[in-house]
Amino acid sequence: MGYVAVRGGSEAVARAEELVACLRLLGGSTPLQLPQIRDQLRHAVSRAMHEGALYAPLLAALAVKQAEGDSIEAAFLLRAYRTTLPRAMASLPVSGREMFCLRRISASFKDIPGGQMLGPATDYLIRLLQPALAHEDVRAVIAAAERYTALVEAGSPQPGAWGRFPKVTEYMRQEQMIVNVPAEPVREEPFDITREPLTFPCPRSARLQAMTQADTGSLMSLAYSSTRGYGDAHPTLVELRYGYLPVQVAHPLTGEPITIGEIEATEAEIASKAHSVTNHAEPPRFNVGYGFAFGQSELKVMSMAILDSVLTQARAGSLAGESGPAANEEFVLLHTDGIEASGFVTHYKLPHYVTFAADLSVLDRAREHHTQRQSRLGQLVDQAITSDSF
Amino acid sequence: MSEASDQLYNFALLDEDAKREIRRKLLKAVALPGHLVPFASRDLPIARGWGTGGLQITLSIVTPADTLKVIDQGDDESVNAVNLRRLINRTTGVTTTTDTAAATIIQTRHRIPEEPMRADQILVLQVPMADPLRWVEPNLERATMMHSEADYGKMWVYMYESVVRAGDLRIASQYPVIVNRRYLMDTTPIPRWDVPKLHMADTLYLFGAGREKRIYAVPPYTIVEPLQFEDYPFRTEYRPGQRCARCGAEHTFLTEHFVSDSNGGRWETTCSDAAYCAKRVAQMEATA
Amino acid sequence: MTIVATPPTPLERFNSLAFRVLLDCLARPGKVGRLPPPPFADLPPLPDGTPPNTVAVAAWLSLLDQTVSFAHAVGAEWLPVDYPLTRWLALRTNARPADPSATDFALLHDPSGTTLFGDLNIGSLLEPERSCTVFLSLPEIVPNGAALRLRGPGIATTATVGLRGVAPTELAAIAARPSQFPLGIDLFLIDQQGRCLGLPRTTQIEVI
């Protein structure tokens, strides 16, 4: 059966795998070490972790290396690994209030309890390429360590509040400016989209979980569309904080909370100008949107918080004007997962000989129909001309 | 690494809880022919849209005693079929085959094998879209409501418009059918040629859509009727006089492909079911 | 090719083999399947001191985990949450004992449990798959026997099956089980020898 060898799928797949492995090292440069990736490509590692939905910095560094820097591929590798892990136990609920902040800012008030802390922000950098980075060596590492120590010593934290701050939303709730935490049907545990199918309408916990593992770029586009004009989002950043968040579990025998480690995370809360009309018995307040992601991932959490607030308002029927695609919960949640979207878009690389052959046969029929109709039309025109002629 | 430490994964990759969930949903799918049953759909080491739904079903039903065949577009040697077979084999160790008659489970994309399947076999179909109402109602909440009320009016309007515009029921593959006189069902992009094979078959058909997170089934001996109008009846792609250039079969689904030869090459029409075609060629060679 | 997975444990092997029998039986009502030997034998007894049908329990348990709920009954009585066998079942599976009207899986240890069908959840039009799956243990299933005549999906024309040790009223209850397609309960009958008969809600049942 000669033609089997000609097609040779098995052989081709094996060779493709080898070629990919070769191509990464073909340039001849020194292979990257995982700590280098973890430390120096922080944002690539964070993105792999939040989109891959697994907090594991060194594994994420491995994924980034194996994916040759492709963010969706790196997240995919981590997701495919995560799915094989047994779920030992769930952590206790954790509040952003417990975060040891490296940075926290608010755009809604000039002064906030605990004070603004700009921290490691890239927002005000002048985006000029820095040629010096091209020639860094170990001296730069030593210099950076010394400079960091000096910077930390120079900054004087508020007494008794070292790295921990009250939340701006707490003050706003107290003052009845924003809605209380949205009530939803009481469930013992939050919805888990990895264990239960996401069906609509879905609880807010499912929405937040779906968005926290969604593709950053997709969330950004939709959040942007809603603020730019295809929607009614008018966000104000109540607070954005980035830092280290302790994670606790209940001791399996005593039930005592035990801290098992900390995660690097970013959290955002935004208030929406649109008033809540969820509870007609109470005076109107602002709605709040929430965003959370592993690592320093500010664009992601702000996009997520904006969409969360838009979707909450859409559910409550308090949007005015054109709501746009960002107000459609199914549209947002079903099209922003990077792993699902990339898989389906690229699946068109797979052979479609059969469906295409079927399409061709239908095209043939449509052509016959067209020809018949044209000739019928021709006859009618001819008749018309004949009857018009004197 | 030693041989033992290479065995990192559970038998058939999925953990037992994932398999149990899919098994429970499969039983409900069989009890509700044509109805879409939501399932959690785990992440897998292959991409969404590349057969993860079919793969999760296969991995949940496979036992070490099975013999497995995987085809893509009717072809065992298509690159994605090779890849899925490799993954299933490496995580289960089951025997694989290209012979439709020898397989106990066949996982397929876009085709139903030409050789009639038996009662002791299961066909697992990979599904991209799952809900035939997607064309007329992309919102899942509303589409679910329409299924629950068997409200398929919009679909009939869609079919009617295709007749008006194209003179025929324009849907090439993924032809919608009504199962057990109740549920409208997506046939996955199998060509129309394969649709009648679903009706009153000997075999159990299981459908898995991984990205869309839905499972459904057509049990054996179940009424499966394509949507059609009295004056525009359902027709397959069959054309009188069609013939496979390789094995001479006159009643198979054919695809066109380019064959190189000393004159630069030519287009040839052959069976899309490659194993069936090869089997016929081998039989002809044996009797010649 | 290197195999990167461990072979199934005896329990996992039973679960996968039993599932194939359950699937085949539900897809082909009237076909009498044979379940593999159960992977355990240390069940606490029923209230009258007799052991439960181990293979029926094992096949039923193969589908249970922490995400589903269950209830079981002896005679025409549902067994309480604190009954030793209930606790054993919950401990083995992490499944939650639940009120019969909300339960995902029911096990009826003997044919008089057929009087309890009306207590069970038949699903909703939006989610007909949320209905109860019921396992009923009985003395003996006779392939091609003459107790019930079956029609519907999975059956080429008609099928018949015999059931020994089932009273006429119980046969009538099986035939009249809650099933207004697409709503209804799905039923597995399992005898002492591990024979298995599937009766999905699509099957029209007639007492011969």
Segment B59-63 mean pLDDT: 97
Domain-wise residue ranges, chain C: 10-207
On whether both B204 and B254 belong to a single domain, the answer is no
Q: Which of residues 139-158 of B touch C (CB under 8 A)?
A: 144-145, 148-149
B positions 63-102 inside 8 Å of C (CB): 63-64, 86, 89-93
Confirm if C25 and C133 have CB atoms less than 8 A apart.
no
Number of separate domains in chain B: 2
The answer to whether position B178 is within a domain reads yes
- At A115-126, the pLDDT tens digits run 888 888 888 888
CA distance C30 to C187: 12
Task: Determine the Cα–Cα distance for residues B14 and A37; give it in Å rounded to an integer.
Answer: 30
pLDDT digits (tens, 9 = 90+) for C146-179: 999 999 999 999 999 999 999 999 999 999 999 8
pLDDT of residue A36: 96
Indicate the range of A53-62, A275-284, A377-386, B204-213 predicted with least confidence: A275-284
**In the predicted model, what is the mean pLDDT of chain B?**
92
B163 touches chain A (CB under 8 A): no
B248 is catalytic: no
Touching check for A173 and chain B: CB below 8 Å?
Answer: no
| DSSP letter (8 states) at residue A193 | T
The C-alpha R_g of chain B, in whole angstroms, comes to 20
Residue B160, in any domain of the structure: yes
Domain assignment of residue B231, yes or no: no
Same-domain status, B82 and B172: yes
Question: Which is more confident, A81 or A186?
Answer: A81
Q: Rank A223-232, A239-248, B164-173 by mean pLDDT and report only the highest.
A: A239-248
DSSP B56-114: HHHHHH--TT-EEEEEETTBTTSHHHHHHHHHHHHHH--EE-S-GGG-SEEEEES---S
Of B12, B13, B219, the CB nearest to C153: B219
| Residue percentage of chain C with pLDDT more than 70 | 100
Same domain, B248 and B141: no
C172-190 pLDDT per residue, tens:
999 999 989 999 999 999 9
Give which of B48, B134, B137 to mutate to test A binding, by max A Cβ within 10 Å: B48
Closest residue on chain B to C20 (Cα): B61
**B245 and chain A: CB distance < 8 Å anywhere?**
no
Question: Is residue A208 within 8 Å of A292, Cβ to Cβ?
Answer: yes
Chain C contact partners (≥3 CB pairs within 8 A): B
Active site residue B53: no
- The pLDDT value recorded for residue B2 is 41
What is the amino acid identity at position A60? A
* A67: three-class secondary structure by DSSP: coil
Neighbours of chain B (3+ CB pairs under 8 A): A, C
Distance from CA of B38 to the nearest CA of A (A): 6
Classified by CATH at the fold level, domain C10-207 comes out as: Rossmann fold (3.40.50)
Chain A hits for B15, CB-CB cut-off 8 Å, are 84, 86
**Structure tokens given for B209:** 């859509």
Contact A357 B38 (CB under 8 A): no
pLDDT tens, A26-39?
999 999 999 999 99
Judge whether B110 lies within some domain. Answer: yes
Let me know: does A257 contact A247? Beta carbons within 8 Å.
no
Residue A49, pLDDT above cutoff 50: yes
Asked if residue A201 has a cis previous peptide bond (ω within 30° of 0), the answer is: yes
Q: Please check whether residue B9 lies inside any domain of the structure.
A: yes
Nearest CB to C129: which of B32, B61, B221?
A: B32
Which of A268, A350, A267, C34 lies closest to B75, judged by CA?
A: A350
Q: Compute the nearest-CA separation of B11 from chain C (Å).
A: 5
Is A19 buried (19+), middle (13-18) or exposed (0-12) by CB count in 10 A?
Answer: exposed
Residues 222-261 of B with CB under 8 A from C: 222-223
User: Quick check: A278 pLDDT over 60?
Assistant: no
* Residue C139 DSSP symbol: S
Q: In this predicted structure, which of A197-201, A251-255, B188-192, B200-204 has the lowest mean pLDDT?
A: A251-255
Looking at the structure, tell me whether residues B146 and B242 fall in a common domain. no
Report in angstroms the alpha-carbon separations of B159 from B142, B155, B171, B233: 19, 6, 8, 12
Q: pLDDT per residue over A245-260, tens digit each?
A: 999 999 878 889 999 9
Q: How many residues does chain C have?
A: 208
B228: amino acid identity, one letter: Q
Helices A298-316 and A216-228: crossing angle in degrees, nearest 10, is 50
**DSSP-derived secondary structure for C29-96:** TT--EEPPPPS---PPPPTTSPPP-HHHHHHHHTT--TT-EEEEEETTEEPPTTSHHHHHHHHHH-PE
Range of the domain at B196: 3-226
Q: Same domain, yes or no, for B184 and B247?
A: no
pTM of the full predicted structure? Answer: 0.89
Contact call for residues B151 and B237 (beta carbons, < 8 A):
no
Query: H-helix or E-strand containing B122?
Result: strand B122-126
Query: Looking at chain A, which residue has its C-alpha nearest residue B14?
Result: A84
Q: Is B219 on the interface with C (CB under 8 A)?
A: yes
Catalytic option among B208, B244, B248, B265: B244
Among A59, A349, A355, the strongest candidate for a mutation testing the B interface, having the largest count of B CBs within 10 A, is A355
pLDDT, residue B250, reads: 95
B contact residues 183-212, partner C, Cβ 8 Å cutoff: 183, 200, 204
- Which region among A252-256, A267-271, A362-366, B20-24 has the lowest average model confidence (pLDDT)? A362-366
The answer to whether B237 contacts chain A (CB < 8 Å) is yes
How many whole angstroms from its chain centre is CA A117? 25
On whether both B103 and B73 belong to a single domain, the answer is yes
Q: Check whether residue B135 and residue B247 sit in a common domain.
A: no
pLDDT band at A367 (very low <50, low <70, confident <90, very high): confident
Query: Mean of the pLDDT values across residues A307-320?
Result: 85
Is B114 found in the same domain as B161?
A: yes
Identify the CATH number of the domain in which residue B87 sits.
3.40.50.11310
Neighbouring C-alpha atoms within 13 Å toward the C-beta of A137: 2
For B197, the token pair is: 């094979």
pLDDT beyond 90 at C137: yes
| Minimum-distance CB partner of B33 among C23, C186, C202 | C202
Candidates B93, B208, B247, B265; catalytic one? B247
**B232, part of any domain:** no
Per-residue pLDDT band at A388 (split at 50, 70, 90)? low
Using the predicted structure, report yes or no on whether residue A279 has a pLDDT greater than 70. Answer: no
B233, part of any domain: no
Whether residue B166 lies within 8 A of chain A, CB to CB, comes out as yes
Chain C: residue whose CA lies nearest to B149: C125
Question: B249 lies in a domain?
Answer: yes
Closest CA to A7 of C184, C159, B75: B75
Cβ of C20 under 8 Å from any chain B Cβ?
A: yes
By mean pLDDT, which of A375-379, B62-66, B160-164, B166-170 is the weakest? B166-170
Given a cut of 70, whether residue B168 has pLDDT beyond it is no
Inter-chain CB proximity B192 and A86 less than 8 Å: no
**Residue from the list B49, B82, B246 with its beta carbon closest to the beta carbon of A10:** B82
Which of B166, B211, B257 is facing A369, going by the closest CB pair?
Answer: B166
Chain C residues in contact with B10 (beta carbon < 8 A): 5-6
What is the pLDDT averaged over residues B219-246?
Answer: 92
Note whether A61 and A40 are within 8 A (CB).
no
**Catalytic residue chosen out of the listed positions B74, B208, B210, B271:** B271
Residue B208 has pLDDT above 80, yes or no: yes
Establish whether B34 is a catalytic residue: yes
- Structure ipTM: 0.97
Chain B touched by C94 (CB under 8 Å): no
Residues B25 and B112 in one domain: yes
